[in-house]
């Protein structure tokens, strides 16, 4: 494998381009009409247009992606996350075209992509699962019977889904049938499959996931990530390690994740998601058969480049991770910066990035797929960038994230930056007293705070004013002094073109 086509966009596409270059591989970017000037396109060695802005006509079109691979001479395909990353049909099409699929086998994707099939396999492998169905529900009567058996509250979930789509919490029998209809309808729109299943709703659990990595010879885990700060089942903040996971619990959860991956013949990087109850019991939720959005926090505390490991494994090379047990070093936190307007019910915000000053300094990582002049549209996910920090311990990591958020200046679209500042200042969060319903109880954190948000607006305005003034003061320097010589004429000619 010498040239990799990246079947994705935004920050993850740029992340993969960089990993390819560090592995000595050439990178091929694909782009819709809306993304032709995006950073991942400029960073790649080759770029291939694949259609209009609509994802169904570009990033979700398997024929167009395979045509782009053939046209560019790519011999490998990395799907990133989202879009077609967890579609077994795409993995099979890539294999069928004689290309190297940089991810798990299609059989593993299919087994874990069907949530009820995954639950059956995990139960057989001895991995603890939440009490509930191990097959899609066929009618409301069967759902009522199961709900009465396991007890309310229950949660209805899309069998083919993930990411919070097609999910409804039901607290009483009269709510069940409407929830089945609503969840099935949303599942059909999101995944093309209306199948749903039912499981016990665990009260106030933490969302803790285990990173696994598997090559042809062995499967290892790289500890946990805490992903409990969520809004409408969408993760907003992730950290590694978790304040709720001891060394002993980490090994128990890690062993369960390794067993889960081994049960489906897994290869490449993947993530097993668990619910961690207050009594210390944990239950398998699902396996994400791809690189995760939040993978950087694991990379920072374990010193492993997960995307480069994916590339190595796909080439038939052994992973470079040591065979001895690894232990987390320090603490990492990731905040997802999204183009959502907290002052308007977190509705998506669109516009053009007019000014961007990313944070920097010790222990700060900025994974972004945006640049000044890029348009933010409704066609794609609202995540603009990920701000990740590392520090020796959690209090210092929180303080560093707070400082980095203050440094960040982004003008052109509304974002959730203010929310992240408020969260870092929150005493309960600082103490690690969180669970997946934390933001349901703390809606105050979602509301703009006039004092700090106003200060941020003033800071942005001042930064823009200073930038404009600096540009106005900057003299135009030419080789001939007055701009009338050869350099000046050349500049005017270029401008006229």
Mean pLDDT of 51-69: 97
| Same structural domain, 238 and 335 | yes
Per-residue pLDDT band at 481 (split at 50, 70, 90)? very low
| Lowest model confidence (mean pLDDT) among 80-89, 182-191, 395-404, 463-472 | 463-472
| Residue 450 reports pLDDT greater than 70 | no
Torsion of CA 297, 301, 304, 305, to 10 degrees: 30
| Residue 3 reports pLDDT greater than 70 | yes
Percent of the chain with pLDDT over 90: 80
User: CA dist 313 to 6, 187, 308, 309, 363, Å?
Assistant: 16, 33, 9, 6, 29
Exposure on the CB side of residue 12, measured as CA atoms within 13 A: 23
> Residue 238 in contact with residue 334, Cβ under 8 Å?
yes
| Residue 484 reports pLDDT greater than 60 | no
> Residue 378 in contact with residue 406, Cβ under 8 Å?
no
CATH code, domain carrying 431: 3.30.470.20
Per-residue pLDDT band at 480 (split at 50, 70, 90)? very low
> Residue 228 in contact with residue 221, Cβ under 8 Å?
no
Closest CA to 458 of 409, 388, 422: 409
Mean pLDDT of 340-348: 84
Per-residue pLDDT band at 477 (split at 50, 70, 90)? very low
| Same structural domain, 192 and 211 | no
| Same structural domain, 229 and 138 | no
Residue 325, pLDDT score = 83
| Token pair listed for 284 | 């398998």
Mean pLDDT of 136-141: 89
Residue 483, pLDDT score = 46
Instruction: Give one word for 432, left, alpha or beta, with left for phi > 0 and alpha for psi -120 to 50.
Output: left
SS (H, E, C) 339-389: CEEHHHCCEECCEECCEEECCCCCCEEEEECCCCCCEECCCCCCEEEEEEE
Does 123 reside within a domain? Answer: no
Per-residue pLDDT band at 159 (split at 50, 70, 90)? confident
| Same structural domain, 237 and 281 | yes
Residues identified as active-site: 290
Per-residue pLDDT band at 191 (split at 50, 70, 90)? confident
Residue 204 DSSP SS3: coil
**Which one is predicted more confidently, 266 or 285?**
266
> Residue 103 in contact with residue 85, Cβ under 8 Å?
yes
Residue 189, pLDDT score = 84
> Residue 463 in contact with residue 357, Cβ under 8 Å?
yes
Does 53 reside within a domain? Answer: yes
Please state, in angstroms and rounded to a whole number, the distance separating the CA atoms of residues 285 and 246. 20
Range of the domain at 61: 3-102
Closest CA to 167 of 153, 184, 150, 152: 184
| Same structural domain, 188 and 222 | no
> Residue 235 in contact with residue 227, Cβ under 8 Å?
yes
Please state, in angstroms and rounded to a whole number, the distance separating the CA atoms of residues 468 and 462. 10
Domain boundary among 149, 180, 200: 200
Per-residue pLDDT band at 160 (split at 50, 70, 90)? confident
Torsion of CA 238, 241, 246, 249, to 10 degrees: 70
| Same structural domain, 17 and 77 | yes
CATH code, domain carrying 91: 3.40.50.20
- 465: burial class by Cβ within 10 Å (0-12, 13-18, 19+)? exposed
| Same structural domain, 14 and 84 | yes
User: CA dist 281 to 205, 212, 249, 255, Å?
Assistant: 10, 20, 9, 14
Residue 435 DSSP SS3: coil
| Same structural domain, 224 and 181 | no
> Residue 384 in contact with residue 336, Cβ under 8 Å?
no
Mean pLDDT of 63-85: 98
Mean pLDDT of 420-433: 98
| Same structural domain, 37 and 144 | no
| Same structural domain, 161 and 15 | no
Per-residue pLDDT band at 472 (split at 50, 70, 90)? low
| Residue 135 reports pLDDT greater than 50 | yes
The number of folded domains in the chain is 3
| Token pair listed for 99 | 């290309």
User: CA dist 74 to 6, 15, 87, Å?
Assistant: 10, 18, 20
Mean pLDDT of 291-312: 98
Mean pLDDT of 45-67: 97
Does 110 reside within a domain? Answer: no
Residue 167 DSSP SS3: coil
Residue 134, pLDDT score = 82
Residue 57, pLDDT score = 96
Does 119 reside within a domain? Answer: no
> Residue 376 in contact with residue 412, Cβ under 8 Å?
yes
- 426: burial class by Cβ within 10 Å (0-12, 13-18, 19+)? middle
Closest CA to 387 of 422, 354, 355, 420: 420
| Lowest model confidence (mean pLDDT) among 36-45, 75-84, 335-344, 424-433 | 335-344
Residue 478, pLDDT score = 41
| Lowest model confidence (mean pLDDT) among 155-164, 230-239, 394-403 | 155-164
User: CA dist 250 to 253, 263, 270, 303, Å?
Assistant: 5, 20, 17, 18
What is the Cα Rg of the chain in Å? Answer: 24
Domain boundary among 430, 451, 472: 451
Element (H, E) at 253: helix 247-263
| Residue 167 reports pLDDT greater than 70 | yes
- 439: burial class by Cβ within 10 Å (0-12, 13-18, 19+)? buried
| Same structural domain, 266 and 410 | yes
Residue 490, pLDDT score = 56
Residue 460, pLDDT score = 65
**Residues 6 or more apart whose Cβ sits within 8 Å of residue 269:** 211, 212, 213, 290, 291, 295, 306, 307, 309, 310
Does 313 reside within a domain? Answer: yes
Does 246 reside within a domain? Answer: yes
CATH code, domain carrying 178: 3.30.1490.20
| Residue 476 reports pLDDT greater than 60 | no
Long-range contacts at 393-402 (CB < 8 A, ≥ 24 apart): 393/330, 393/331, 394/239, 394/243, 394/331, 394/432, 395/430, 396/331, 397/239, 397/330, 397/331, 397/332, 397/333, 397/363, 398/333, 398/424, 398/429, 398/430, 400/362, 400/363, 400/364, 401/333, 401/335
| Same structural domain, 354 and 430 | yes
| Residue 308 reports pLDDT greater than 80 | yes
> Residue 223 in contact with residue 250, Cβ under 8 Å?
yes
Average pLDDT, the chain: 91
Does 314 reside within a domain? Answer: yes
| Token pair listed for 9 | 């966009």
Domain boundary among 141, 171, 200: 200
| Residue 479 reports pLDDT greater than 50 | no
Does 120 reside within a domain? Answer: no
């Amino acid at each position: 494998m010498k040239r990799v086509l990246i079947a994705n966009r935004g920050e993850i596409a740029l992340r993969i381009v960089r990993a390819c270059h560090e592995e000595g591989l050439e990178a091929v970017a694909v782009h819709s009409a809306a993304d032709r000037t995006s950073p991942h396109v400029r960073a790649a060695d080759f770029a291939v247009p694949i259609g209009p802005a609509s994802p169904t006509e570009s990033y979700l079109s398997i024929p167009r992606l395979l045509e782009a691979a053939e046209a560019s001479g790519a011999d490998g395909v990395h799907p990133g996350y989202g879009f077609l990353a967890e579609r077994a049909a795409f993995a099979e099409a890539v294999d069928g075209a004689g290309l190297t699929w940089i991810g798990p086998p299609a059989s593993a994707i299919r087994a874990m992509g069907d949530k009820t099939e995954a639950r059956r396999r995990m139960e057989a492998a001895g991995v603890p699962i939440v009490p509930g169905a191990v097959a899609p529900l066929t009618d409301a009567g069967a759902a009522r019977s199961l709900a009465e058996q396991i007890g309310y509250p229950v949660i209805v979930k899309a069998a083919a889904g993930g990411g919070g789509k097609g999910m409804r919490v039901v607290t009483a029998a009269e709510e069940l049938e409407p929830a089945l209809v609503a969840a099935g309808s949303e599942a059909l729109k999101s995944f093309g499959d209306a199948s749903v299943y039912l499981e016990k709703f665990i009260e106030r659990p933490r969302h803790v996931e285990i990173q696994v990595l598997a090559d042809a010879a062995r499967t290892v885990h790289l500890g946990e990530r805490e992903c409990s700060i969520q809004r409408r089942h969408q993760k907003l903040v992730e950290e590694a390690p978790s304040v709720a996971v001891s060394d002993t619990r980490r090994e128990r959860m890690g062993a369960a994740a390794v067993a889960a991956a081994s049960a489906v013949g897994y290869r490449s990087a993947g993530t097993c998601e668990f619910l961690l109850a207050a009594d210390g019991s944990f239950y398998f939720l699902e396996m994400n058969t791809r690189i995760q959005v939040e993978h950087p926090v694991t990379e920072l505390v374990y010193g492993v480049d997960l995307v480069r490991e994916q590339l190595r494994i796909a080439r038939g090379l052994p992973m470079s991770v040591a065979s001895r047990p690894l232990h987390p070093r320090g603490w990492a936190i990731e905040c997802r910066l999204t183009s959502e307007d907290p002052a308007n019910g977190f509705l998506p915000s669109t516009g053009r990035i007019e000014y961007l000053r990313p944070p920097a300094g010790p222990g700060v990582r900025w994974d972004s797929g945006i640049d000044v002049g890029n348009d933010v549209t409704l066609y794609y996910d609202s995540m603009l960038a990920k701000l990740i920090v590392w520090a020796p311990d959690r209090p210092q990591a929180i303080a560093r994230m707070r400082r980095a958020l203050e440094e960040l200046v982004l003008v052109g679209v509304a974002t959730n930056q203010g929310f992240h500042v408020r969260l870092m200042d929150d005493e309960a969060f600082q103490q690690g007293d969180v669970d997946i319903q934390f933001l349901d109880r703390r809606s105050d954190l979602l509301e703009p705070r006039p004092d700090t948000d106003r200060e941020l607006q003033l800071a942005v305005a001042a930064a823009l004013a200073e930038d404009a003034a600096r540009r106005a003061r900057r003299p135009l320097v030419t080789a001939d002094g007055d701009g009338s010589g050869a350099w000046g004429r050349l500049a005017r000619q270029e401008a006229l073109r």
